[in-house]
Structure 1
Amino acid sequence: MTEALNELNSDSLHNEIAIYKRMGSHEGILPVFQLSGQSIEMAYAKEGSLTQYIKNHREPTDALKARWIGSVAFTICYVHRCRITVDDIALRNFLIDDQLAIKLIDFGLSTLQHLDGMMEILATKADIFRVGFIIYSIATWKIYDYNKFEDGKEGSSSREGGPVQGSSEHETHWSRAESLPSVDHCICGNIIDKCWIGGYNNMDQVCDDVQRELGTLLY
């Protein structure tokens, strides 16, 4: 058992190293100082994870929320343009540095897609579904866990026009479960909702809407 676990961890590390090499540096990804066969040496993020930050700090201004929402969207878009699907998009994997910039980490579960091929649509939409929860948590300043809504573990009811449960394990990710929170009167509410109901085919479309809605708040 231990040998199998070590082999799994080694494979995950090698995969993550390959992903960091393909991505290179990006302002929305925590800087990497050194990549080796044994470890990944990264920068230190003083303020910890987004989960911790929401728990420990009062709600910030809409301007800071907008910058973080924009950074999340543009960073995942960049990763997808590198032909990588992230999979583990969660609050714990966004860190806050000493300049209050938000940085993505942890690509151990991510997948390298073929550089000369199309992105796998179900994996892409699953990433977008999860991005909706990150934006929602920033917008409402509440920690919200999407895991219980995956793979049909919650109701599969959808709003009018939304996808419903199907044969693929990913299809229920963007079903609009009745128990999902309301996005009424929420900054980027329409964007969050479209992420949840499968209204976007790619992250470029998400970024276009973020730029339109948030405008000068992004800068």
Structure 2
Amino acid sequence: MPSHNVELSSSFPPDQVLGIGRTGLVVRQGQFAVKLPLRWSISSDEQVEANIESLQHERSIYQRLDSCDGVVPFLGYSDTAIKLRLMENGDLRSYLSQNKPSKALQLSWFRSMAHSLSQVHDRRVIVADIATRNFLLDAELNVKICDFTESMLMPLDTNMETADCAGYSIYTDIGQLGAVMYEVVVGEKTAFDIFKDLPLEASIGKWPQREDLPSTEGIWLGPIIERCWTKGAFASVHDLRKELDSVIVESDSVKHLGPSRNLTLLLHSIDFSQWLGVSRSAAMLVMIFGAIAGYVWSRRRG
């Protein structure tokens, strides 16, 4: 949106505006990103005051999460501004619109997201608005979470496994993270929306119906995403982290594998037992010895 539609203490050119949200404006100032309360030309004093209060609420979340791994570094604040470290590669949703990351990079992001979210929950915060637009990428494509405008700051003695705030919980955070994973893997945006089809005046959300979410059948990490969308399937994000840590990404190209692995893949891909009239295991032994003999012969000739 053109910067002249926003009335602030300073005027920001379009290339300096990093993002405009419902209550805030993020602008670039050197190597920093500064979030300010949004003030439209038609905004009432009450709306502006509400946006300032929203910013101050988010500031309190950042203070609770200070030095938390995987959260955009919080560098300072005033009553009407939050200063954050600039993330050079912008938000994840914009990056995905121009790039198709490898499975290895996707998995590294998912592990980092789960690690960050587990720490956020450990500090008694329910995020409530986990989306690709709220993950930012630094110069090395490391992913970090930001934007806690909608988040809930819980008392430090809260039992997070039973905590519920208007329908939001650690389980809805996991559900939303599953939607992020789906969007990265499939390339299509989806929403884990606990207020879908509820009246506008509804103040408490409910767990989405399964039919309101896309199928995960046949997609990479589909079973894990499906468990994210099944309430209680993961008791916490720590369990999701362990599940993601157990995933192994193998190269799509055989040439990136070791020679012994290449040979094993070749032997398993061809049924030599039918050719030699022996058992499959015997056929594999014949081929292994043949390969070794051929290698020794070629070395002697060389």
TM range (shorter): 0.7 to 0.9
User: C-alpha distance in 1, partners of 2:250/2:154?
Assistant: 34
Corresponding position: 1:64 with 2:105: yes
Contact 1:73–1:203, Cα closer than 8 Å, also in 2? yes
> Residue 175 of structure 2: SS of its match in structure 1?
helix
1:159 maps to: none
User: C-alpha distance in 2, partners of 1:214/1:192?
Assistant: 16
1:24 maps to: 66
Instruction: Output the amino acid matched with 2:146.
Output: I
- TM-score normalised by the chain length of structure 1: 0.82
> Residue 42 of structure 1: SS of its match in structure 2?
strand
Pick the structure with more helix per residue: 1
Any gaps of 5 or more consecutive residues in structure 2?
A: 1-42, 252-302
1:211 maps to: 245
User: C-alpha distance in 2, partners of 1:133/1:214?
Assistant: 21
1:197 maps to: 230
Q: 1:152 to 1:172 in 2, by over 3 A?
A: farther
1:151 maps to: 195
User: C-alpha distance in 2, partners of 1:111/1:205?
Assistant: 22
Instruction: Output the amino acid matched with 1:182.
Output: S
User: C-alpha distance in 2, partners of 1:27/1:40?
Assistant: 19
2:86 maps to: 44
Corresponding position: 1:93 with 2:134: yes
Give the root-mean-square deviation of aligned CA atoms.
2.4
Match of 1:114 among 155, 159, 178: 155
Instruction: Please say which structure displays the higher CA radius of gyration.
Output: 2
User: C-alpha distance in 2, partners of 1:99/1:181?
Assistant: 31
Identify the range of structure 1 (34-43 vs 207-216) with the bigger mean alpha-carbon deviation: 207-216
Counterparts in 2 of 1:72-83, with a 5 A limit? 72-83=113-124
Any gaps of 5 or more consecutive residues in structure 1?
A: 155-166
Percentage of matched positions with identical amino acids:
28
Structure 1 residue 48, shift from structure 2 partner? 1.2
1:123 maps to: 169
User: C-alpha distance in 2, partners of 1:152/1:110?
Assistant: 19
User: C-alpha distance in 1, partners of 2:138/2:218?
Assistant: 29
User: C-alpha distance in 2, partners of 1:181/1:145?
Assistant: 8
> Residue 117 of structure 1: SS of its match in structure 2?
coil
Pick the structure with more strand per residue: 2
User: C-alpha distance in 2, partners of 1:93/1:192?
Assistant: 19
